[in-house]
Chains A and B, each alone.
Chain A
Amino acid sequence: MRAYLILFMSVIMVPASWGQMIPSRSENLENLVTFGKQAPSNWGDDDHVQIFFMLVPKDYDKPVYLNIYDPGIEGDNDQIVASANTKTRFSVYSGKGCYSNKAARSINPTGNYKSGNLIKSRTFGKNDALDKKWVQLAMVNPKEGEYVKEFDGYVFKVVCEGLTGDDGNHYKYFLSSSKDNRIPVPGGNGFTYEYSFQLKNKAKSVCHIYPYVDDKVDYLVQHNFDFDNDGFIKINSVVRNGHHQKLSADGEWSQSRISIKPQERNKSIDIQIEKKTGEENDMVFYVVNQYNEPVPFFASPIGVTKYNFQIDVKTKTISK
């Protein structure tokens, strides 16, 4: 499996520049989202914490820079409930255990999910100056990350916590190879095990998230939260064309099972979220395998996820 993953990540992955912004362009999501601790879950965040892992290829030895777009609570990019009273903390962890500690990869932020060495932590609240701006949170030496053999690269972790307040903080990450500009790290990627995001505020828009299916997966169970029944959720892959899944209502979880076909292993599948309305909508997604283990969503899908549409043509010349 490892060999496949490395191959796909280094060769077949969509252009690197797409994957270094999280959410990526191919995902077509509006933002990541973390709500303040006092916000009810039916605003679209079940646990007020979002954990993301940044992956840097093994051979990349220059510093990388983690940037955040609009880290504070201000303006129309965020979900301000009454007054912008929310504080959000972004913390970067590296070193042994930052990835391998099971709590870091669980669905719920319980136990030692902040494992590893804390490199940098910064709390953002109401701040006009940072509205819709990129802010550099931390510079990281990739080798200080935890080496993960399965991905053949170094991983560090970013934990976003909604500390206080009831607003929704909408933000993005960018893993950059440049201190002053946002230039992708070649072969870099970002992944999470529970995804909290804002869909596009546009009717009929289609967003994509890409759970990775390794060679041990027999079936997956998708869990979606607070979709408000606002459209359709479908699965696409090289051998699957738009299989509809169960949808969640406001503040509720819903789940459905997906049997995996051999051709779908060792690559990402494409969960398409098709929106019916133009209403703002934040939601949560996670997927587990048959052992109830969460599987990672990569911002840049791994391998080919498109359904293979074949066209057969027969030509004939006939007398008039």
Chain B
Amino acid sequence: MYKVIAATILVLLAGSGFAQKKKHLKKGNQFYENHDYLFAERYYEKYLSGTEDMEVTKKLLHCYKAQSKNDKLNTAYKLLMADGNQAYMIEYAMFLISSEKYEDANKILDNYLSLSSNSDKELAQTLKDFSSAKSGVSNLNCTENVESKYCVEISAAKSIDPENPHMAFIWKFEDGFTKKGVTVKRCYEEPGEYTVSLSVKDNISGLVEENVNTKTFSFAPSPTFSSEDGKISIISAGEESTFKCDKASDSLTYIWDFGDHTFSTGSEVKHTFNQAKNSTIKMYILSESGELDGCVEQNVPVLYNFKSRRP
């Protein structure tokens, strides 16, 4: 008799627990639909406590993303990875890159690239190149998205014969400008290709040996970027915006970091910000040899979208 009562109570409790979870899910979905991610997160977390539901986990992930809850995001991504969810591999790699966990990102990308069914191999490869390049650079300061000048430092330090300290180094630039010294600096107003030739002077005999070596160097066009109308215009949350590199070069790869754990590649990209807040857009430039050539950044206010009434 007692056993029956106990079993009944357990069934009732389980039933009530199940009903409760269903309620949490329903509530969570309501808030989620209304883009009220804070409350949606609370209910989804309650729902997922002791329950595995990948579809809800994806929604919860979205809630974390919208609120920039990085620790929770990482856990959610790991759950999706453990479930073998390929669709989120690139997204997770982007998250790891933006969290400066390049090694972990490369592992995910390697894994993705090894899959026969990968659908975005090119993007994965570019992200991997970018991640590798960025991991080798410490304290990369991005320049502001304004007009630039182009500076060069030229050195003959490796040409010094330690047994002969009597040599002077003379640099002649393509426009006739001359500078003396082992290492010299010069800045240009315009991008383009420039040449410098090295002459050496024997300070004992006074003899100058002309043009013992020449070097050509170049500056890529100004790495500024803008939206469609030539400058960063008003960006509204929930609306797609286009960004493009001014004077892009075919030989360079452009990687865009929108500051919300998402990256895009190309000289012209589209992006939708989900949240109205101040964002920093960074455009990284990757050289043909896979080295990080530069970075340009711009702070942009993402405005509340009254049209769609989305925050």
Complex Cα spacing A251 to B201, Å: 30
| Binary flags per residue of B39-65, CB closer than 8 Å to A gives 1, else 0 | 000000000000000000000000000
B146 to chain A: closest residue by CB: A319
B151 touches A232 (CB 8 A): no
B251 on interface, CB distance cutoff 8 Å: no
Chain B residues closer than 8 Å to A315, beta-carbon distance: 150-153, 217-219
Are B213 and A310 in contact, with the CB atoms below 8 A?
yes
Query: How would residues 208 to 231 of chain A score, 1 for a CB under 8 Å from any chain B CB and 0 otherwise?
Result: 000000000000000000000001
**Interface residue stretch chosen among A186-194, A238-246, A286-294:** A238-246
Contact A320 B159 (CB under 8 A): no
> How distant is the Cα of A242 from the Cα of B223 in the complex, in angstroms?
44
B198 proximity list for chain A (CB < 8 A): 309, 311
A312–B154 contact, CB under 8 A?
A: yes
By the criterion CB–CB under 8 Å, are B223 and A317 in contact? yes
Given the complex, which residues of A lie within 8 Å of B200, measured CB to CB?
Answer: 241, 309
- Shortest distance from the beta carbon of A12 to any chain B beta carbon, whole Å: 19
Residues facing A in B190-238 (CB within 8 A) are 196, 198, 200, 202, 204-205, 207, 212-215, 217-220, 222-223
A206 close to chain B: CB less than 8 A = yes
Within 8 Å CB of A306, what residues of B? 212
B11 CB to closest chain A CB (Å) equals 70
Judge whether A318 and B212 touch: CB under 8 Å: no
> In angstroms, how far is the closest chain A Cβ from the Cβ of B115?
38
Tell me how many residues of A have a C-beta within 8 Å of chain B.
27
Interface size class of B (residues with CB under 8 A): 35 or more
Say yes or no: A232 contacts B154, CB within 8 Å: no
Neighbouring A residues of B149 by C-beta, 8 Å: 317-320
User: CB of A149 within 8 A of chain B?
Assistant: no
Within 8 A of B (CB), among A141-194: none
CB-based nearest B residue for A240: B161
Specify which of B147, B150, B155 is in contact with A311 (CB 8 Å cutoff). Answer: B155
Please, which residue of chain B has its CB at the minimum distance from the CB of A311? B215
Min CB distance, B203 to chain A, in Å? 10
Are B204 and A232 in contact, with the CB atoms below 8 A? yes
B289 CB–A CB distance under 8 Å: no
B residues bordering A, Cβ < 8 Å? 143-144, 146-159, 161, 163-164, 166-167, 187, 196, 198, 200, 202, 204-205, 207, 212-215, 217-220, 222-223, 294
